[in-house]
Amino acid sequence: MKTKRLADPYLVWMAIFTIVPLGIVVYFAFTDSATGAFTFKNIVNIGNYIPIFVKSIWLALVSSIICMVIGYPVAYYIAGRSHKAQRFLYMLIMLPMCISFLLRTMAWVALLDDTGIINGFVTAMGLKALPLIRTNGAVVLGMVYNYLPYMIMPLYTVIMKIDPRLVEAAQDLGCSNTQVFRRVVFPLSVPGIISGFTMVFVPAVSTFYISQKLGSSGTTLIGDVIESQFKTAYNPNLGAALSLVLMVLVFICIGIMNRFSDDEEVATV
């Protein structure tokens, strides 16, 4: 009984800061902004934003895949170092996250802008300035830079915990380094890949500041639309409906990824 009571403050916290806000979002999503009457109008109007939903999911997927391609070798390298080197390298990965998210994004604006640092060197060599900013590529670059640590951290944790005796056993059975990685290390690190993929995808699909600073009107994401409904369009009901649908999509994606993770664990056992 005493153990159960220790969880009571957490349950109260969850009720106040999770369930209640969620209930408010649902209420606004299914009510009219003028009369407060129950309506499905906001949900129906979401159909006008399907292309933006698709673009947001697509760019988030691309960013997550790039983070995985970059983050896996980094995590694998860190996990193979000595404990002292691991702590130092892990600190280097975490260090940029101690800087404000806004400042990190604005730094890329200073680099990629038409009159920025990179184009300053390009024009100094007599070449035409490159279109580096206000593109989908710039938005993906901003996502990858800001969310890459979220991929490296779970991958490093999982790879580090792989029993080295399994690797030694595979080598004793005649497996090459490539075969050891393909048949032992990589399958055992799949839960870390899925966890990292989830941790990158969720904030990437709902981001808005990165697309505003590094993108253009053609790279508007669903996070930008939601923000505009609350700040400029003054239609919180539609904004709540968009937020609710986005949250459902995120939960579905997380559920699918967790299902793959569970299947992989069963197959490994």
125-151 residue pLDDT tens: 988 989 999 999 999 999 999 999 999
Q: Cβ distance 210 to 142 under 8 Å?
A: yes
Spatial separation of the C-alpha atoms in residues 199 and 24, rounded to whole Å: 25
Fold of 49-223+243-268: MetI-like fold (1.10.3720)
SS3 state at 184 = helix
Average pLDDT of the chain is 89
Q: Cβ distance 133 to 113 under 8 Å?
A: yes
Question: 18: pLDDT confidence band, cut at 50, 70 and 90?
Answer: confident
Who contacts 235 (Cβ-Cβ below 8 Å, separation ≥6)?
Answer: 33, 229
pLDDT score of 16: 84
Percent of the chain with pLDDT over 70: 95
With a cut of 50, say whether residue 190 has pLDDT above it.
yes
Who contacts 202 (Cβ-Cβ below 8 Å, separation ≥6)?
Answer: 250, 253, 254
Note the pLDDT tens digit of each residue in 193-236.
Answer: 999 999 999 999 999 889 999 998 788 999 999 999 988 888 99
pLDDT score of 266: 45
Q: What 8-state DSSP symbol labels residue 31?
A: B
Spatial separation of the C-alpha atoms in residues 77 and 177, rounded to whole Å: 14
Domain chopping of the chain, boundaries? 49-223+243-268
Residues 166, 172, 176, 178, Cα dihedral to 10°: 0
pLDDT score of 260: 66
Question: What is the average per-residue pLDDT within 94-119?
Answer: 91
pLDDT score of 140: 96
Spatial separation of the C-alpha atoms in residues 108 and 92, rounded to whole Å: 19
pLDDT score of 69: 96
Residues 17, 203, 100, 227, Cα dihedral to 10°: -70
pLDDT score of 77: 95
With a cut of 90, say whether residue 17 has pLDDT above it.
no
Percent of the chain with pLDDT over 90: 60
